[in-house]
Structure 1
Amino acid sequence: MAEHSTPHFHNQPGVSQIRVGAKEFMCVGALPPFDHPHVYIDMGASNEAVCPYCSTHYVYDPALRGGVDPAECVYHPTQVAAA
């Protein structure tokens, strides 16, 4: 099965800001089963956005080239929160 074509990010660590190298992505909140509805965020002409569900502040950083900082905030479909 292919990975997501749109990057998916989570904020399981609970950081106040996540830098992303993409202006269009999905926010899943925390890791399942504590995730919120997976929402598509498009920054458009802006360089930042706030998730309407979890209030994570995303900031665009073109140097990341599609990546994310902190790196553990990339969501993989097989991830679940530790009990």
Structure 2
Amino acid sequence: TSPRARARLGKWLAAKPGASDAEHREAERLLSQAFEQGEDSALVPLIVLYLQYPQSWPEIDPQQRIDQWRARGLPQA
């Protein structure tokens, strides 16, 4: 599966009304993989997912992640 396809599916799952926790986790996995493979369009939906559902990722500090991405020169973070 291409990074773009992963990003599109991840975005869809993240925005799906009434999505389950498992769907949110799958969206996070897909968006993370797509971003790591160079699909920059996955970054904002990934951040939004972390901010909207912090209870699903208690180990992740969204602001720290944003700061790290900005330090790497990613203006969309």
- Taking structure 1 as the reference length, the TM-score comes to 0.23
Tell me which protein shows more strand as a share of its residues. Answer: 1
Tell me which protein shows more helix as a share of its residues. Answer: 2
With a CA cutoff of 8 Å and minimum separation of 6, indicate the structure with the bigger relative contact order. Answer: 1
- Taking structure 2 as the reference length, the TM-score comes to 0.24
